[in-house]
Chain A
Amino acid sequence: MITLSNSSNIFGVIVMNGAHDLGGMQCYGAIRIEKDEPIFHDEWEKRVFAATMVSFGALGSIDAFRHAIERMGAERYLSTTYYEHWLAALEMRIEETKLHSKAKSDTPLTSEDVDAIVPTGGSYSREVANAEIRFAIGDRVRAKNINPAGHTRLPRYIRGREGEIVTNRGNFVFPDTVAHDLGESAQPLYSVRFESAELWGSEEEGRDAVYIDLWDSYLEKIE
């Protein structure tokens, strides 16, 4: 099992429990629905979208990119628009991977490559020989109470809560290590059901539930 450190600080930036981890907060106002919303609002948004999409090969994993957004800082994250997050992360990844000082590649991505990549994508599931399956469908589990210094996909509102294993989705690469170039650590991913009453303690929403995908490293058995 992977040890999730509470003390190491991988990039020298404290990013634990960042502003991106929004589940359960109530301070962001009404949901505003834009009628007939365009796919992009401005020309630069299209261009930052495209520049990001073609850069994953050169600038690292999608989790490293997500983690760059998480490291923007709370004030900046909350006061900028969605594609400004992408732009900021792209700039950070260019710095971190030292793209400026890299040699020129002689195989630039072509339009044909794009036509091939979009409908293919990249699989995140892995065959793992003798993977340890610790949980069966119906098992009661608790999400660990962790506060790691780096990237994680275990939201705060789930930590420490008890739920039930619903599905074993197979072995998937582990974002907490992939984001930091520490290997794929592929491991079982489970769909876990948490009752609203367990998460929020509310009578009113008690009949509803959250389903969330959690990796083996996030879970402990309830004895």
Chain B
Amino acid sequence: MLRTESLAKTFTLHLRGGMQLAVLAGIDLEVQAGQCVVLSGPSGAGKSTLMRSLYGNYRAEAGRILVRHGDEMIDIARAEPRVVLAVRHATLGYVSQFLRVVPRVSTLDIVAEPLASRGIAVDAARAQAAALLLRLNIPRRLHGIPPATFSGGEQQRVNLARGFIAAHPILLLDEPTASLDAENSAVVVSMIAEAKACGTAIIAICHDAAVRDAIADRLFPLTPIREAA
């Protein structure tokens, strides 16, 4: 479903006199349908950078990121912006650590939006969104409120609901259970298991050993690059 070939990422900090910061080099990662690969390694090994590069959020300057989008393989690292957007829309989902949404929009509509944007009737999309939120223990009385005032854990669960609702064939999860208690972590673990059973390819970053063991089919170890210069 997703494969990288010799992927490399170096940041050039022009405001620091053009300092070069190599974070990723020679990454060859492959994930099959129904498989969950967890990126592992110490802080600064480039797990988040790899994740963001896979999503097209960071620009990979060398190597390829091949994603199965419908019947084609798209190279995210080289694709036109609108192609990347189409891939994100239909194929590639991303659940970041932090919720970043428009102010003033209700929680229910934030979660329903990925479905509504695919042309699903608003009522049906909202019904699905409500069910998913309830499963993640977000009570109905919060559905009508924008999530800006929610606790960290609540925001993360809203974010997860938004990420899972569209059933993307490939899902990127950045610390999906970091701010969750054991009960909610268990819900997320079961949701991941269900997604895998439906053939979703998942790439995750996960520091919680118990959760990692529960979801990972395979670990993909990353090590920090030693600065040459």
Are A and B co-members of a single complex?
no
Q: Chain B: residues with CB nearer than 8 A to chain A?
A: none
Q: Chain A: residues with CB nearer than 8 A to chain B?
A: none
